[in-house]
Amino acid sequence: MAHLIVSAALLLLVAAVIPGMRVRGAIPALIAAFVLGLVNALVRPLAVVVTLPLTVVTFGLFLLFVNGAMLKLAALVVPGFQIRGFLPALWGSLLLTVCNLFVEAYVGPGW
C-alpha cells in the first residue's frame, strides 16, 4: 500500500514537471499508479520480448520507448490521467524511473 501511495505521489510530481502530462488529483493518481503497476507486470514483459532484437541492436535504449508506451497505455485507460503525445510519455517515464530509483536508494530495496 505504501508503494502505491509513493508511486501516486511521484506520478503527481512528474506530471507537474513534464508539459503535456496531466493528473487531475490524488484519486486519479492512485488509480494511475495501480494501472501502471498492472501494465508493467502484465504487458511490459511481452513488449520487451517482442522488441528484444531492436533492444539488442540499440544496446537497451529502446527500452525507454517501451517504458514510454507503457505509461501512455496507462494514461489511455485511466480517466483524469492524460498524456498528450509520445514525447511527454517518454520524458515522463524517464523521470518517473529516476525518481523511483532515488526513492529505492533512500528507503532501501524491496520496500
pLDDT tens-digit map of 6-65: 999 999 999 999 999 999 999 999 999 999 999 999 999 999 999 999 999 999 999 999
Band of residue 111 on the pLDDT scale cut at 50, 70, 90: low
**pLDDT bucket at 109, cuts 50 / 70 / 90:** confident
Would you state the cell numbers that stand for residue 86, as one nine-digit string? 509520445
Distance CA 69, CA 28 (A): 19
pLDDT at 56: 96
Domain ranges of the chain: 2-107
Within 6-72, strands assigned E span 21-23
Taking CA atoms, 106 is separated from 20, 26, 44, 102, 111, in Å, by 29, 23, 26, 6, 10
Tell whether the model's pLDDT for residue 105 goes beyond 80: yes
pLDDT higher than 90, residue 108: no
Select from 108, 80, 85 the least CA-distant residue to 11: 80
